[in-house]
Amino acid sequence: MQKKNRSEQDSAEEKYSALVEKRNELNQQAREFAEARNSLNSERRRILDESKDLRDDRKKMVDKMRAHKKRRNTYQDKAKALIEKKKKSKGKVPEGLNTQISTTREEVDSMDLKQQTVPMTVQAENTLLDELKSKKTMLKDLESVKEEENKILDDIKKTDLSINELFELADDEHKKVVEYSKKADAIHETISTTMKSISHLIAEANKNHEAYVVIKEKADGYHEKSQEMRKKLMAIRNEKRDEARAGKKLVSDHNKDVKKQMGSDKDLDDAADDALQLLLKKGKVEF
């Protein structure tokens, strides 16, 4: 009986040790996958923080680009308005005005000279004076128109300068629009690459997490089995301990009975030997 118990205990201890070893091995693997997962998640968070900074930088570039684009468009709109004004002003300038003024002035001078040098009747002179008066009025009107034309032409010249200046300002703003647009696009490309890296890290982290879950479940299964085997092993040990205690008590009780019945130490030793032999036969103890 005792040898059988020993064999059962040894077997239980071997199974328990094997289960604990396997559980620990799986837990170690699970920890490695968890560490890899956590490392990937940390890297993902770091890159994500960097991408937020990149988004802020890109927004700044886009805001600057929009501001310069707005100024560029304003300059272009003002230049276009001046071009329209110039077209309308040119339409107000009569053609051949200088020739008309020159011809009319010559006619006035000729009439003045005729009135002063050529003898004529009173009626003819009055007619000449009426024509002279009319020509002078025409000349005055033409000169007034010429003065207005000069103002218009001067305004057109100034308008031309303003148009050129506005288009130069618009070109400068457009260059800045292109500059900040390129910077924003470059940052966008970096963000896109970063997002791909984050997606890859997430996928790898998920794989490690899934592996961690699977192995951890296996480890937990071995843990439950090891605990069951531990209970069984403890039961076997408790049973052996109880048997040993019972054997000791049996010997002790037998010695007490013998001592009561026999007086000599030799008789007592003989009785103890008899009791031990009895226990050996019953399988309560072993050497």
Task: Give 165-181 pLDDT, tens digit per residue.
Answer: 888 888 999 999 999 99
Q: In this predicted model, which residue has the larger pLDDT, 66 or 9?
A: 66
Dump pLDDT digits (tens) for 60-84: 999 999 999 998 888 888 888 877 8
Question: Given this model, what pLDDT does residue 171 score?
Answer: 92
Task: Give the Cβ contact number of residue 72 at 10 Å.
Answer: 19
Segment 102-161, tens digit of pLDDT: 888 888 888 888 888 888 888 888 888 888 898 888 888 877 777 777 776 677 677 776
Banded pLDDT at 267 (limits 50, 70, 90): low
Residue type (1 letter), 177: V
Percent of the chain surpassing pLDDT 90: 13
Q: Which of 35-39, 86-90, 196-200 has the lowest mean pLDDT?
A: 86-90
Instruction: Pick the more confident residue, 284 or 142.
Output: 142
Q: Which residues contact 51 (CB under 8 A, 6 or more apart)?
A: 191, 194, 195, 198
Q: Please report, for the chain, the start and end positions of each structural domain, with discontinuous segments joined by +.
A: 2-282
Global pTM reads: 0.46
- Best CA proximity match to 204, nearest among 1, 41, 13: 41
Which of the four pLDDT bands, split at 50, 70 and 90, describes residue 1? very low
Give the pLDDT score at 5: 52
- Model pLDDT, residue 182: 93
Task: Give the per-residue pLDDT at 284.
Answer: 47
Give the residue-averaged pLDDT of 223-246: 82
- Mean pLDDT score of the chain: 80
Nearest to 43 by CA among 31, 54, 35, 33: 35
Show the tokens assigned to 67.
């501001």
Percent of the chain clearing pLDDT 70 (strictly above): 80
Residue 276 has pLDDT above 70, yes or no: no
The region that residue 93 occupies, defined by phi over 0 for left and psi between -120 and 50 for alpha, beta otherwise, is beta
Q: What is the pLDDT of residue 250?
A: 74
C-alpha span between 171 and 160 (Å, rounded):
16
Query: Is the pLDDT confidence value at 207 over 80?
Result: yes
Residues in the chain: 287
Q: Which token pair is 14?
A: 């071997």
- Among the residue ranges 140-144, 247-251, 255-259, 260-264, the one predicted with the least confidence is 260-264
Instruction: Say which residue, 5 or 229, is predicted with more confidence.
Output: 229
